[in-house]
Amino acid sequence: MARTADAKKRGDPLMRDFRLENSPFFLMNRTVATYSLAMEKALRAVGTDIPRWRVLMLAHEFAPVSVGRIAEGGVMKLPTATKVVQRLHRDGLVQIRRGVHDARVTEVELTAAGRKAVQVIRGVASRMYRAAFGDFGPVEIQALNSALARVHRNLLNGG
């Protein structure tokens, strides 16, 4: 128990024993940055990038999906999401239309070419996932997902 309490103290920037390598935020940021660099390189090899990947995956999972929902789910600003959707539309990977229930909403759906692109991208993402989590068991992945969801909830609720 004392070791666990010490770990919590060592991760708090106000504590005397704070060390950067014990900071969950430092470790998360370093991990995400490393992942992003590797994923960007892997996606570039198949002719896409991270913003396009996020939009395509969200359109795949939630279609039809609003541009607002894409911005929220893809953690990007609405104008950025709009620009990415427009580029994907020009490339023939998504179709856009006015919302069925609200004409102010723009909805996005994959085209046949978009569905093919998603399959390629999922292969890239799978290779990255397997490289990162190959030595993790299912219980560890569930625990990590639960912990990260909890941190996210806490941040949304103001701590």
Upper half-sphere CA count for residue 145 (Cβ side, 13 Å)? 8
- 159 is a domain residue: no
Tell me the per-residue pLDDT of 43-87, one tens digit each, with 9 for 90 and over.
Answer: 999 999 999 999 999 999 999 999 999 999 999 999 999 999 999
> Are 62 and 16 contained in the same domain?
no
Domain limits for position 27: 1-45
Give the predicted TM-score (pTM) of the model: 0.85
Q: Mark whether 20 and 67 lie in a shared domain.
A: no
CATH code, domain with 61:
1.10.10.10
Tell me the longest C-alpha to C-alpha distance in the chain: 58
Looking at the fold, whether 59 and 122 belong to one and the same domain comes out as yes
Same domain, 37 and 56: no
Same domain, 81 and 19: no
Question: What whole-number distance in Å separates Cα of residue 143 and Cα of residue 146?
Answer: 5
Reading the block at residue 52, the tokens are: 């396009």
DSSP for 120-140, please give it: HHHHHHHHHHHHHHTT--HHH
pLDDT tens for the chain, 159 residues: list them. 555 668 888 999 999 989 899 999 999 999 999 999 999 999 999 999 999 999 999 999 999 999 999 999 999 999 999 999 999 999 999 999 998 888 888 999 999 999 999 999 999 999 999 999 999 999 999 999 999 999 999 999 986
User: Looking at beta carbons, which pairs linking 44-51 to residues 24 or more positions away fall under 8 Å?
Assistant: 45/124, 46/120, 46/121, 46/124, 48/117, 48/121, 51/76, 51/80, 51/84
Pair of tokens at residue 56: 């395509």
- Same domain for 35 and 16: yes
Looking at the structure, do residues 106 and 95 belong to the same domain, yes or no? yes
Total count of domains within the chain:
2
